[in-house]
Structure 1
Amino acid sequence: MREKWVVGVDLGGTTTKLAFINVEGEIIEKWEIETDHSDAGKNITANIAKSIDQKLKEQGETKDKLIGVGMGSPGPVNYKAGILYNAVNLPWEDHYPLKKNLEEAIHLPALIDNDANCAALGEMWKGAGNGAKDLVCVTLGTGVGGGVITNGKIVQGVSGAAGEIGHITVIPDGGAPCNCGKTGCLETVASATGIVRLANLKLKEEGLAEGLLVKIYEENGSITAKDVFDCAKLGDAACLEIIDEVAFYLGLVLANLGNTLNPEKIVLGGGVSKAGDILLDKVQSYFDKYAFSRVKDTTKISIATLGNDAGVIGAGWLVMNEQFQ
């Protein structure tokens, strides 16, 4: 019997990543298309279907090559029903029937989950999780996302909102507003946006008149999270203080997650994780400080290895797991 493929789709507010993936989790071809917000998003699933058909034609294949389509979408998802509860950064109404509409467009079985959950599944299957069946994945990007896997399965929760690690409150009083409507969330201090906010606060501190951070701000008129890490690696005191603050909150949250779940691995992904050891070492030290001794000895923190491919690979895993479980 000839080899079958699945399609992994990582739906984003600006672009949508797609990939053909074989049953071993290897990417055959990957590409991306623009996420079309026009006409209340009515073209999004149709464009995905057309793009898949076009790529199959380029590969000299027909649709019977495909087992099905898995998709990671931003926002909480009802996995069983395939309904997107809240369309984050997408022009759809709440309780959007994404699975139904995708299946009608592409004429293949489809499975839908949250994008951070799919990234966690990808890292479990082919990345830093290395086959671990108990895993927590935290994505540190513009926001902070999370996925919790126990015994090889994503924890969904009663309304698809499990794993919202970025909205764990770390500053109960006086915290910064978060896009979710609360204040003091982990996302406000550990995302790229949060790090920039902390850097701008640092620049306003009395007495901070010199240093690498100040020079970059004076030259560019703004600061990025990458600037903060780059300056910290060069020994800038203000940036080292910012990273220590970020690592404290992140290490505390991870320790509490570890104490609750005792996963085999905690994987940090997203753009902020590319800072590497200067962040990971400090996070590890705070994790060790606050984790229960048995958790500290058995749970390993590591940096994600799949990068932007984690979402499509994890989305493909949704179909593979359903097909072969």
Structure 2
Amino acid sequence: MSKYCFGIDVGGTSIKCALFLTDGTIEEKWEIPTRTEDQGINILPDIAAGILKKMKEKGIPKEETAGVGIGLPGPIEENGEIACAVNLHWGRKNVEKELEELVGMPVKAGNDANVAALGEMWKGGGKGAKNLIMATLGTGVGGGIIVNEKIITGAHGAGGEIGHAVINPKEERACNCGNKGCLEQYASATGIASLARKALETSGKDSVLRQKDSVTAKDVFDAYKEQDSLAADIVEEFAEYLGRALAVFACVADPDVIVLGGGVSKAGQVLVDCVEACYRKYAFSACKDTQIKLATLGNDAGICGAAKLILSK
């Protein structure tokens, strides 16, 4: 009977690692640097060395360990291969096979945003749900969709890439993905800052935002909380884009709950309130009352979801 498992969350600069009990209790957390030099050849060996060292330290035999779950910044195919991970300097690589050989235990890999969604469903804002949509509003917009407790990955591992749904076909600026008018261009922290710059240029309204050298998403929400009229216009535009997009995704996935995470979610309940109002305006009747909640796990979402990934294998 397995008592332990490991959850690994690989980022571009650091790798978060954790030893879990199979009931979800985190026994210990640690971090190692992501060595991306030489096409990232050291990344998986570094992870394996850390896991094996921790097992030796704690006297944990392999037969008591369910295995290793790992979240990675890129699309993961059904066979455990990652087609490309730009931030890690990887080309095509079978992560599951390579890491299994290094640690001598089962490995299950997933896209980092999908894995974070699984973590929030297991232990966070979506706890108790079986169907969930998560939108991670950070520098970009990540996403994860879970139906009947299974992550939707799709044919190319790109299921749940909600940030690259085109929601404004009139947009002339290109998104980082090459398309124009993606949700990420309006609902990310950088997207909100872009909406703010445009509003400051085109609106004659007075605003505390005009006193800022460089307006951030946090500045916009802080001003919104102080009932700044221009900030209210910006937040309304952002919420319109995100609420409408979430209503479309809800038509497909019919979630129990929608969870909002990432840096923008630190705005708190006001974020939920304004997005929820727009979501309900557009949602299909059966989905109108779907709850929108804030993520609660913060930086632990990835390691928790990774652990759940291997426990659900």
TM-score by length of 2: 0.94
Residues 1:91 and 2:89 aligned together: yes
Aligned to 2:80: 82
Mapped contact 2:9–2:306 kept (Cα < 8 A):
yes
SS in 2 for 1:157: coil
The answer to whether 1:309 aligns with 2:308 is no
- Show structure 1 runs of 5+ residues with no match: none
1:124 is aligned to: 121
What's the offset of the Cα at 1:63? Answer: 4.5
Spell out, residue by residue over 1:62-106, the C-alpha distance to the aligned partner (whole angstroms, 9 max, x if none).
555432110111111103x1101121422111x222212222222
CA positional deviation for 1:184: 0.6
Unaligned runs of 5+ in 2: none
CA contact (8 A) 1:175 1:185 kept: no
**What is the root-mean-square deviation of aligned Cα atoms in Å?**
1.7
Give the letter for the 2:142 counterpart. G
Q: Does 1:29 find its partner at 2:28? A: yes
1:243 matched residue in structure 2: 235
Deviation at 1:206, TM superposition (A): 5.6
Amino acid at match of 2:309: L
Distance, in Å, in 2 between the alignment partners of 1:238 and 1:275 is: 17
Q: How far is 1:241 from its partner?
A: 1.4
Change (3 A) 1:170 1:67: same
Q: Could you say which residue in structure 1 is the equivalent of 2:112?
A: 115
Residues 9 and 71, structure 2, Cα contact 8 Å, conserved in 1: yes
Q: Equivalents in 1 of 2:73, 2:193: separation in Å? A: 23
Within the alignment, does 1:215 sit opposite 2:214 as a pair? Answer: no
1:68 aligns with 2:49: no
> What residue in structure 1 maps to residue 6 of structure 2?
7
| Aligned-partner Cα distance in 1 for 2:56–2:235 | 49
Q: What is aligned with 2:245? A: 253
Q: Distance in 1 between matches of 2:277 and 2:258?
A: 14
Match of 2:147 in 1: 150
Q: What letter matches 1:212 in structure 2?
A: V
% same residue: 51
Cα distance in 2 between the residues matched to 1:54 and 1:229: 45
Q: 2:175 aligns with which of 173, 178, 196?
A: 178
* C-alpha distance in 1 between matches for 2:50 and 2:16: 11
Amino acid paired to 1:116: A
Query: CA shift at 1:153, angstroms?
Result: 0.8
State the alpha-carbon separation in 2 of the partners of residues 46 and 67 from structure 1. 19
| CA drift at 1:279 | 1.5
In 1: Cα distance, 2:31 partner to 2:200 partner: 38
Sort the Cα spacing of 1:39 and 1:282 in 2 relative to 1 into closer, same or farther, 3 A: same
